[in-house]
A and B are shown apart, each in its own frame.
Chain A
Amino acid sequence: MSDPSTHGRSAAQPQVGRSSSGDGDLVRRAAEGEVGAYEMLYRQHVGRVHALCLRMARDRSEAEELTQETFVRVWERLGSFRGESAFSTWLHRVTVNVVIAELRRRGRWRERFTAHEGEEVGVAEPAFSAGGDLDLERAIAALSPQARLVFVLHDVEGYQHNEIAELTGLAVGTSKAHLHRARLLLREELSR
């Protein structure tokens, strides 16, 4: 199967929409406990973090909670950021980790409380609905959680399968299988 992403961008160097050239100083000050510096980092990067959370969450409310959770965790871990990669790259990886961990935790709770037998635990409407390709957003939102996770990380965010495996704990082959199935389902849905 053709895999166009292999010659596309890599998640190791994510494209951030806003300048992060001043991040170094802000990160240092925030790591020293300066909340004002951390607020500036939040303002610079919240759009990117929230976009990923929106695509992975069940609804906008959950996406907001995940975004908040990410920035709280990042604050707690700032001391472990060694500056070997761009702050935006590190932040994005922490976001993915937090989203996966939180959705797993909430999934267990939701399974016990709300999922009815045979019911797909997915979303009917995309949380991400601010303009853009709504047909595709809607089709992505209807994917199963794992297929959605792999598709978003690989085809939207540009991660490679080995990186996805590292982040999610899935085997590389499983990641590829999820991507293949997700693409198939999306093509079917979009061709209707």
Chain B
Amino acid sequence: MKNILRWRRAKPPSVEERAAVDALVARARALAREAEPARDLWAGIRNRIELERVEAPRARAWRARVQVPVWGAAAAAALLLATSIGTGLWFSRPPSLDDPVAVRALADSLRDRDGMGQMRQDLLALLDERRAQLPPEVVAAIEKNLGEIDRAIAQIHLAFREHPDNAALRFLLAEAYRREADMLEQLEWWTSAREPEAHS
């Protein structure tokens, strides 16, 4: 078998095979390399830039004050999240409800609610376990934000009872779970034993 595989690897491509690959690559190279978004994304980008301009110096000052470098990033992000929830920015992106693909993807994201619940429980347990390692301000910010998200989820579930097929509610619920999961996942990352990477 190995000999056959070696022979197959060593076998030069036929003229037909080479032509077929060339044709495929030519088609790939001819694909459009520019595509304007269906809606203007600048407003959302500008909001985040402005938020960063306001929050970054405040977070830096906070980090200097508490002198716990590893938790500086956590605190900055917690402050950022608190601000974004407080200003309503985290729901600022209008749902693409006119887009059946997007709606289907969002509906798909709700398929495994048991999985969502389990992950949430796991990460809440992690927060309890590592609470002592975190500055009290960070714990308070995280708990406040979790509370905000949980209240939003509860309200959406209530609204669901009256409008079970409402696509906007499905979007908001998926987004709420995603925000919660992202925040808790970041907590897991922050409390691991390494410094945050400088990029991405």
Our count of residue pairs bridging A and B at CB distance below 8 angstroms stands at 150
Output the least CB separation between B125 and chain A (Å).
15
Cβ of B37 and Cβ of A64 under 8 Å apart?
yes
Pick from B13, B25, B99 the residue with the most CB of A within 10 Å. Answer: B25
Would you call B185 an interface residue if the criterion is a C-beta within 8 Å of the partner chain's C-beta atoms? yes
Tell me the residues in window 49-94 of chain A with beta carbons closer than 8 Å to chain B beta carbons.
50-51, 54, 58-65, 67-68, 71-73, 75-77
A187: chain B residues within 8 A (beta carbon)? 20-21, 24
Cβ of B105 and Cβ of A58 under 8 Å apart?
yes
Distance in angstroms between the alpha carbons of A10 and B67 in the assembled complex: 47
Kindly list 20 other residue pairs between chains A and B, CB separation below 8 angstroms, not including A4-B25, A60-B38, A72-B49.
Answer: A1-B13, A2-B18, A35-B49, A35-B50, A58-B105, A59-B102, A59-B105, A61-B102, A61-B105, A68-B45, A71-B41, A105-B185, A109-B181, A110-B109, A113-B116, A114-B109, A114-B112, A131-B32, A187-B20, A187-B24
The 7 closest A-B pairs by CB, nearest first: A47-B34, A101-B200, A61-B102, A155-B28, A51-B35, A2-B18, A59-B105
Q: 27 interchain pairs (CB within 8 A)?
A: A1-B13, A2-B18, A46-B36, A46-B41, A50-B35, A50-B36, A61-B99, A61-B105, A61-B106, A65-B93, A72-B45, A76-B52, A101-B199, A101-B200, A109-B182, A113-B109, A113-B112, A113-B115, A113-B119, A114-B115, A125-B101, A131-B32, A132-B31, A132-B32, A133-B27, A155-B24, A156-B33
Chain B residues at the A interface, C-beta cutoff of 8 Å: 13, 18, 20-22, 24-39, 41-42, 44-46, 48-50, 52-53, 93, 96, 99, 101-102, 104-106, 108-109, 111-112, 115-116, 119, 177-178, 181-182, 185, 199-200
